[in-house]
Structure 1
Amino acid sequence: MVKIQAIAQGNKAYANERNAGLVFVFAGATSGIGASTLEKLASMVESATFHIIGRSVSRFATQHSKLSNINPNLTIHFFEGDPSLLSDIDAFSQRIKTTSQKVDYLFLSPGLLPMAGPHYTKETLELCFALSYYSRLRLTSNLFPHLLASPRPRILSVLNGGKEKPLIEDDLGLVTRWTPTAVIAQTTTLTTLAFEHLASQHKDITFLHVYPGLVRTGIFSNLVAPQGAGVWERVKLALLRGVFGVLAWVLGANPEVAGERCAYVLTSPTYGPGVWLVNEVGDLVALSGVLSKYKESGWPEKVWGFTLGVFEAVLGKDAVV
């Protein structure tokens, strides 16, 4: 366990380096853990450029002012877009490429709890799957040239690192076998295997897959009933929102603490190039037997091939990177 005092010391040591000119990219940082991480990182750099995607520039205004107060030397570029849409991710990526020559840190944490049945984006991807996996990996792949221009590129995905389960191998995208537990397990394992493949191709990049544990955020309040749900389903979901919201408040970690931990993992010299699985208390998690078996049988490459196939299906052949 990495104690919070050690994390605070590590973040202070990073801040004392007075790093300037860094470029950060954030998806999923306008609320919850991501917002707390964003604010902590703002306090740890001398100057930096922050690229942030979010659904509403007006809702981001308060956070923008807070960041500017924390660090007046920040350059903040906010892109109004839907993080679940691959086309918006591509537009965001293009905006970054036209304003920055490199990307030093990529932070990924968009998500939605899949407890109320599948929802679909206008690109016909299941919403939870798109947020937890497809859009994150699309942004990652889009930014590889800029990441490789950094002397110490790092990518951190906040999901369920260390909690990988066996894949549903004959339905990787859960087209016919979607369930709440399946989408959590599938996106978790796909993320780690995709990172393993990408790390084998880009040996100078650090890939971090982090499990934050239970945190006091509003994620449970975002649960909505599927289209066509009956009265009982809606009532049941309202009860679940209340129960899980109370549990998160009573048992969950403070979001500021979670943000400080994520900022530490993203910037700490403890983690070099390669793939790292980090749990909620900062401990490294060894590859499970499931992951070792998948690595030995070539599944990282298979997963990436599947992912590129989805990109092509949604965006067209010319959009595959």
Structure 2
Amino acid sequence: MVLLSDIQSSNALISSTLPPNLVAVFVGATSGIGETTLKEFARNVPQPRAYFVGRSQDAGDRIAAECKAINSAGKYTFIKADVSLISVVDDVCREVKAKEEALNILFLSAGAPHMNRADFMLTVAIETSENLHLLVALNYYSRARFITNLLPLLQRASTLRRVVTVAAGGLEGPLDPTDIPARHVALTAIRGHLSTLIDLGLEAIAETAPEVSFVHDYPGIVDTPIFNHMEGIFGLVMRTSIYLFGRWICVPVKESGERHLYLATSAKFPPTTSGSGRGFSIPLGDGIDVAQGTTGVVGSGVYAVQWDCESGARASQKLLAQFRDNGMVEEIWRHTESEFKRITGG
């Protein structure tokens, strides 16, 4: 486990170690983990430039003002968008690329837009207008599209180049190779399927971008406003559990933001090709080691980590190796590109 004190010490070095004017895109940052990580970015980076994407204009205006109060030297641009749609993702990326030539951090944490009017579990059954399951669209296809669209900007950055996707890193499970879109995956198996899908998809992208590092993490149970919008028995159980046991089972939202900024900036998660010279990421503190990647190799460029910022279990690495040996990295990426072509026509 990386202690919170070590996390805070690392984040405190950002202003003196990395150059000013770091550029970051936060997708899903109008509440919860995305919002608090954006604010930690504003707090610790000199003259930051942040683009943050969400569905609520009111929340976007509020957060932009709060970030400005935290660091008046920064620039915070809100983009209102429903990123469950690949066509909308393309629009957002075009807007960013029109304004920026390079990108240091891409942070992906968009959640289900129907959370306030339906039980979370029902998102598995909801389809987008592009004929993708909503949960899979938000956790995999949309994020993969953001990464591939913005990868040239990440590759052009002269310093830190990092992608962080917040989902279920370290909780990998069986993936049905005949049902990659998870149209018929059982509800009890969806998390493991998605986690494995994300890891292998990131590995496919990383093969073309060894100078960029990719982190897929499971944040743990974070006490965010999302639980207040859950209806029905599931929502009642979650709120009651947090009220009674939150002190022991929840990661405080501010700590989660600090940990996610660490995931986005620490040398614990280097790309395959780190380059040389000062300023590529924050140096490791005493007793902190470079993480094992999804392949089980230290510093391999793609990392599945749990809430404590440590790599997932060897059982997950073994499972991923089996899929990798069976050609699933290539198969998943062929499928992903075919879905993008079906939706966009290009």
Q: Structures share a fold, TM > 0.5?
A: yes
How far apart are 1:246 and its partner, in Å?
Answer: 2.5
Counterpart check, 1:102 vs 2:102: yes
Query: 1:222, 1:172 → 2: CA distance?
Result: 30
> What are the equivalent positions in structure 2 for 1:1-321 lying under 5 Å apart?
1-17=1-17, 19-112=19-112, 114-116=120-122, 117-151=124-158, 152-175=160-183, 177-223=184-230, 238-249=232-243, 250=246, 251-273=249-271, 274-285=301-312, 286=314, 288-316=317-345, 318=346
Within 2, Cα distance between the matches of 1:100 and 1:304? 27
> How big is each residue's C-alpha offset from its partner over 1:34-91, in whole Å with a ceiling of 9 and x where there is no partner?
1111101111111121111111222211111100001111112211110211111100
Aligned to 2:288: none
3-state SS of paired residue (2:125) = coil
For residues 239 and 44 of structure 2, what CA distance do their matches in structure 1 show? 31
Shift of 1:289: 1.3
Distance in 2 between the 1:68 and 1:32 partners?
Answer: 18
Aligned residue pairs, count: 303
What is the one-letter code of the residue matched to 1:271? F
Mark the CA change 1:288 to 1:74 in structure 2 (over 3 Å): closer, same or farther.
Answer: same
Deviations 1:173-227 (A, max 9, x none): 122x14433332222111100111111221111000111111112334444xxxx
- Compute the TM-score of the two structures, normalised by the length of structure 1: 0.90
Instruction: Summarize the Cα distance change of 1:104–1:18 in structure 2 as closer, same or farther, 3 Å threshold.
Output: closer
Contact 1:129 1:183 in 2 (8 A): no
8 Å Cα contact 1:81/1:88 also seen in 2: yes
Amino acid at match of 1:134: Y
Distance change >3 Å, CA 220–CA 168, structure 1 → 2:
farther
60-69 vs 285-294, which moves further: 285-294
CA distance in 1, matches of 2:255, 2:261: 10
Secondary structure at 2:38's aligned position in 1?
Answer: helix
Given that 1:101 and 1:149 are in contact with CA atoms closer than 8 Å, whether structure 2 keeps it comes out as yes
Q: 1:63 to 1:296 in 2, by over 3 A?
A: same
Counterparts of 1:188 and 1:15, CA distance in 2: 33
Q: Any unmatched runs of 5+ in structure 2? A: 272-300
Query: Secondary structure at 1:115's aligned position in 2?
Result: helix
User: In 1, distance between residues paired with 2:103 and 2:229?
Assistant: 31
Distance (Å, rounded) in 2 between the aligned partners of 1:296 and 1:222: 42
Which residue is 1:228 aligned to?
none
Cα distance change, pair 56–111 in 1 and its aligned pair in 2 (3 A): closer
State how far apart, in whole Å, the 1-side matches of 2:206 and 2:52 are: 24
% identical equivalent positions: 31
